[in-house]
Amino acid sequence: MGKRILTGNNAIAFGALTAGVNVVCGYPGTPSTEILETIADHKDSSVYVEWSANGKAALEVAAGASIAGARTMVALKQSGLNDASDSVLTLAYMGIKGGMVIVSADDAGPHASHTEQDTRSFAALSRIPIFDPSSPEEAYEMIGEAFRVSELYGTPVILRPTTRVCLGKSAVFVRRRVPHVPTGFEKDPKKWVPYPKNAHINHIKIEKRNPIIADMFSELKYNSISGRGKIGVAVSGISCGYVREALEGVTNVRIFTVGTPYPFPEKKALEFLRSVKKVLVIEELDPVIERELTYLCGKHGLKKQISGKLDGAMPIAGEYTPKIVSDAIGRFVFGIEPEAKQEEALPVLPVRTPTLCAGCPHRASLYAVKQALKGKKYVCGGDVGCSLLGSAAPLEMIDTCLSLGAGITLSQGIHRIQPDTLNVAFMGDSSFFATGFSGIVNATHNEADLLVCILDNSASALTGQQPHPGSGMTMMGSDKSGIDIEAVLRSLGLSYVKTIDPMMLDEAIDAVRAAADVKGVRAIVFKSPCAAIAKPTKKFYVSGSCVACKKCIRELGCPAILIYDDVVRIDSSICNGCGLCAQICQIHTIKEYV
């Protein structure tokens, strides 16, 4: 297919297709979402692809296909791997048959996550071999190698790109697909049923196997030593490019590149350590390589200086940049302190906080709850996803949040300690199907007292409007009607369930008031499609009678409503025609274009 500009996510997808992947499952999450979408766009009929209901389901469907002999890939972000971890850890012991690659995208920064966890540490915890690509083109190559290692040793293998690899773009040469025909599932309880007795045997097996894989890794091109001299730099991931750039034209520094951090390629590392006096380790997130090198020095009685995060030579958190890396190398290798930069006085710049889109139904839902509960004592548990933007001014309706679908269970805990408070739990529709559902089961079973507000916009919106069980569409092209959230809630025996359209503001406020006065677990489904999916059918404008009271601006924070020189107007190129502003305007000066 030739060279083309691909993101790392595209490259991972094409790499898997080239390697003959049969089944791909995932759950959307930045920065890994486009991997699965690229598969769906470019696959042939021999590939099955699905957005699973959650990360755990994705892992298990792929594992099932893999033990039936298929080559499978799971596409997740780190938090998706956490969701799947119970099964991942068991699968590591049980093993697989067809090659299985678990992609877990880490997010140094973080740009779009709640933690800076490092999947390389998860690989060590689970004893699963891991590849750590430094660029999109390397990610493409590594996928094929990961499938090979997976089948050779009968173990799932992790590929861990970081945000800059996932979203970075470079020219990648895409090769033709090599088909793989699955052999089918063969019954063998000793192998496929993880009895404790088997677990003990398997534990010994994988502990004995991993040093063999480590030795094989020492021979791979992804773990390499270049340059010469007594000063060493050990590097991994996206920082490899920063190091090469900082040391362009410098030949007296020895560079150890680590592309497979677990099981650690000790032989290669020892060869490197023995040739240098001191090492600066440049790696984002956890000090994985730094600890391995320090351990090797102790184990082999080597007196070397190992610098990195643990001795303060590198920042312990956040994303690295070419500047951070070149400054650190300058200091460590050449003893040069970076010049202090003079701060330039800039004109006043606007603060741009991310906001809910114009016409977003979440704004209407959150606003309706706020109006309905005015004067009441309440605490709102929130969810990950777009609705979390409702924690910002002017809505300020999310008080706490933990992870996907956790608002409902957090709220239950708060209510046990503070029963005089009305607890409201906001939950996205995708979250409802992923993990929120079981939180509601927990609430009804344990006789909790709270109001669940399900924000059903028919998509996993924040990651790019992916379909989910409620929207009905699948990545294989079926377009049936989705699972009805209200019907599911009714079957759970809630004390009050109502579906309303948040864009009908007065009715929505009445429904929230009615629900607030009931005891037990009650739910309101705010149903209105994501503004990015629904084409606007109307547009609104501010007519001449506006008195610039600014109520619409102060209370809604819609990006389409602008003010300049005390004149309020609606930018028709941004307005999605939801009409929420027209409903709250006290003098009815906001009108629909006819």
Partner 1 sequence: MKTNCLLCGIGGQGTVLASTLISTAALYQKLEVKASDTIGMAQRGGSVVSHVRFGKKIHSSLISDGEADVLIAFEPAEAVRHLHYLKKGGTVIVCTRPVIPVASALAHSYETNVLLHYLHENAENVIEVDMKKESNRNINIKLLATAVKSGGLGLSEESLRYAVEKAMPEKSKKAALHLLDEFFGA
Query: Which residues contact partner 1 by CB under 8 A?
Result: 3-5, 30-31, 111-112, 135, 163-164, 167-171, 238, 241-242, 244-245, 248, 321-323, 326, 341, 344, 346-357, 386, 389, 462, 550, 553, 557, 559, 561-564, 573
To partner 1, the closest distance from the beta carbon of 186 in angstroms equals 43
**Nearest CA-CA partner of 46 in 75, 10, 26, 16:** 16
| DSSP reduced 3-state for 243 | helix
Q: Looking at beta carbons only, is 113 or 412 nearer to partner 1?
A: 113
| DSSP reduced 3-state for 56 | helix
Alpha carbons 119 and 304: distance in angstroms, whole number = 27
Q: Looking at beta carbons only, is 280 or 296 nearer to partner 1?
A: 280
Task: Report whether 54 contacts 29 (CB < 8 A).
Answer: no
Backbone angles phi, psi at 501, to 5 degrees: -95, 115
Which runs of E-coded beta strand occur in 85-230? Answer: 100-105, 130-131, 157-159, 169-174, 224-226
Q: Looking at beta carbons only, is 164 or 268 nearer to partner 1?
A: 164
Question: Quick one: which H or E segment has residue 257?
Answer: strand 253-257
To partner 1, the closest distance from the beta carbon of 249 in angstroms equals 12
The two structure tokens encoding residue 326: 């070149």
The two structure tokens encoding residue 272: 């490197």
Q: Looking at beta carbons only, is 61 or 561 nearer to partner 1?
A: 561
To partner 1, the closest distance from the beta carbon of 392 in angstroms equals 11
Q: List the end-to-end C-alpha distance of the chain, in Å, as a whole number.
A: 51
Alpha carbons 442 and 514: distance in angstroms, whole number = 23
The two structure tokens encoding residue 31: 């920065």
To partner 1, the closest distance from the beta carbon of 99 in angstroms equals 29
To partner 1, the closest distance from the beta carbon of 109 in angstroms equals 8
Compute CA 179 distance to the chain's CA centroid, rounded to the nearest angstrom: 30
To partner 1, the closest distance from the beta carbon of 64 in angstroms equals 32
Q: Looking at beta carbons only, is 321 or 403 nearer to partner 1?
A: 321
| DSSP reduced 3-state for 101 | strand
Q: Looking at beta carbons only, is 173 or 334 nearer to partner 1?
A: 173
Q: Looking at beta carbons only, is 213 or 240 nearer to partner 1?
A: 240
To partner 1, the closest distance from the beta carbon of 524 in angstroms equals 25
To partner 1, the closest distance from the beta carbon of 4 in angstroms equals 8
Q: Looking at beta carbons only, is 520 or 559 nearer to partner 1?
A: 559
If 0-12 CB within 10 Å is exposed, 13-18 middle and 19+ buried, where does residue 401 land? Answer: buried
Q: For 109-135, give one letter per residue: b (16+ CB within 10 A) or e.
A: bbeebeebbbbbbbbbebbbbbbbbbb
